[in-house]
Amino acid sequence: MYKFPERLKELMDEKGLSQNKLGKDTSISQAEISRWLTGERKPTVDCLIMLSKYFKCSIDYLVGIVD
């Protein structure tokens, strides 16, 4: 099962981040982040790498391969 939207939401909540703040910190548009959270779109590999560095977690965790 693809868990990226729920993992991203969880990580954002833990840091108290809004979509807008995450977007500003990562140079990813708020609209794109919103599409990820709703499952409308999936992030590119480059975005997954950026997010894993930003949140200090593995890509495997982001996409739900590991807990």
Q: Which residues of 28-45 are buried (b: 16+ CB within 10 A; e: fewer)?
A: beeebbeebbeeeeebee
Cβ–Cβ < 8 Å for 4, 40: no
What does the pLDDT profile of the chain (67 residues) look like in tens digits? Answer: 679 999 999 999 999 999 999 999 999 999 999 999 999 999 999 999 999 999 999 999 999 999 8
Task: Determine the pLDDT at residue 16.
Answer: 98
Task: Name all domains of the chain by residue range, CATH numbers in brackets.
Answer: 4-63 (1.10.260.40)
Spell out the residues 6+ positions from residue 35 whose beta carbon is closer than 8 angstroms to its own: 41
Cβ–Cβ < 8 Å for 62, 4: yes
